[in-house]
Amino acid sequence: MISPPVPFIALREQEAAAVRVGFCPVVKHPALFHGEAIEPPDGPARFGQLNFQRQRLCVFSRLCQVCGRPIGGRGWTLDVETPDPLACLDCFPVAWEHCPGLHRQKAGFLIVETYRVTVEFLFAHQVAEQWNLEIPAGITHIAGKALMQAATLTRVVYAQGEELAARTVGA
Ligand SMILES: [Zn+2]
């Protein structure tokens, strides 16, 4: 059996060292980091866990969380408010084939052009406190929650997984 493709934002084993707080150049704000990110991502993956750096990069640079390429028009997501970056429609069939979590998504999927993402998880002040992380000198405030640049949800389409997988194959 061929091993499943690894999503761009999945945490890699070698990156899973201690979580730290630092200044993120992507969001220009203090944020959580997973050790040192490997670029390009490589090595065994921890499926279901996100690399914080790549997660922010995807949200703020509008990259697909699966393939890491720019999302042109519409993308798909699981919910209206989510910490997950969009994924491109081209990646749905392979994600549907390999990700068991998607098959538990009984409500279907949202296809959107712009959407609202809570980035609470990205900044995660609460997480920093829970894990008792040291806040570097000079950082006096960590946002609890912020919204992505796009605050409106446009052209929302709900689709079931089978339908979406069939529709996007070769599209
Ligand atoms: Zn993609």
Render 56-72 in DSSP notation, one character per residue: HHHHHHTB-TTT-SBP-
Strand 75-77 to 87-88 pairing: antiparallel
Q: In sequence order, which residues have a C-beta less than 8 Å from that of residue 67 and are 6 or more positions away?
A: 8, 87, 88, 90, 91
Residue 8 near residue 63 (C-beta atoms within 8 A): yes
pLDDT tens column, 6-30: 999 999 999 888 778 778 888 777 7
Half-sphere exposure for 21 (CA within 13 Å, toward CB): 24
State phi, psi for 10 to the nearest 5 degrees.
Answer: -60, 140
Tell how far the Cα of 39 is from the centroid of ligand 1, in angstroms: 18
Phi-psi category of 87—alpha, beta or left, where left has phi over 0 and alpha has psi -120 to 50? beta
Tell how far the Cα of 50 is from the centroid of ligand 1, in angstroms: 16
Tell how far the Cα of 171 is from the centroid of ligand 1, in angstroms: 13
Average pLDDT in the 57-76 region? 87
Domain limits, the chain: 10-168
Q: Would you mind telling me the total number of residues written for the chain in this entry?
A: 171
Tell how far the Cα of 7 is from the centroid of ligand 1, in angstroms: 9
State phi, psi for 34 to the nearest 5 degrees.
Answer: -95, 100
Tell how far the Cα of 92 is from the centroid of ligand 1, in angstroms: 8
pLDDT band at residue 108 using 50, 70 and 90 as cut-offs: confident
Tell how far the Cα of 63 is from the centroid of ligand 1, in angstroms: 8
Q: What is the pTM of this model?
A: 0.76
Residues flanking ion ligand 1, Cβ below 5 Å: 64, 66-67, 88, 91
C-alpha dihedral sign at 30, 78, 87, 157: negative
Q: In sequence order, which residues have a C-beta less than 8 Å from that of residue 106 and are 6 or more positions away?
A: none
pLDDT band at residue 151 using 50, 70 and 90 as cut-offs: very low
Q: For 17-169, where are the alpha helices, taking DSSP H only? A: 52-61, 92-98, 120-123, 125-130, 161-168
Res 150: pLDDT: 36
Res 44: pLDDT: 93
